[in-house]
């Protein structure tokens, strides 16, 4: 039996796990940790990059993005051409972080209910 067939036959793994992590054969806790830390690092890189772009525009924009609650949104809407790449990296990191958190929670509740 191959590793992939063994993973498919396990009761604790679903199709999503087989598609994403099946070749590596990682357990769900390891998957969640990799997704969590990877998302956190990607989120941080996007945030720092966004702040660098804001400070390159002017110190006032940098301070607004750092202090004001909607300063980043305002800067993003007014300087879309300059900051769409860091915003996409930031968004990718946030999505990876959320998927890893909710994916792990789903596996936890599946195991608890069965």
**Domain definitions of the chain by residue range:** 3-113
Share of the chain above pLDDT 70, in %: 64
pLDDT of 98 over the 70 cut:
yes
Per-residue pLDDT tens for 6-45? Answer: 555 555 545 555 445 444 555 666 777 777 888 899 999 9
Other CB atoms within a 10 A radius of the CB of residue 52 amount to 13
Chain centroid, CA 22 distance in Å: 20
Q: How far apart are CA 92 and CA 97, in angstroms?
A: 9
Q: How far apart are CA 52 and CA 30, in angstroms?
A: 33
Closest CA to 21 of 39, 40, 11, 34: 34
């Amino acid at each position: 039996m191959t590793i992939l067939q063994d993973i498919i036959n396990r009761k604790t793994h679903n199709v999503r796990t087989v598609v994403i992590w099946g070749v590596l054969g990682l357990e769900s806790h390891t998957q969640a940790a990799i997704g969590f830390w990877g998302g956190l690092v990607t989120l941080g890189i996007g945030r720092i990059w966004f702040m660098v772009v804001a400070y390159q525009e002017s110190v006032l924009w940098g301070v607004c993005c750092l202090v004001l609650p909607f300063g980043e949104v305002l800067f993003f809407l007014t300087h879309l051409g300059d900051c769409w790449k860091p915003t996409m990296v930031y968004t990718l990191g946030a999505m990876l972080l959320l998927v890893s958190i909710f994916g792990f929670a789903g596996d936890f509740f599946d195991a608890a209910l069965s």
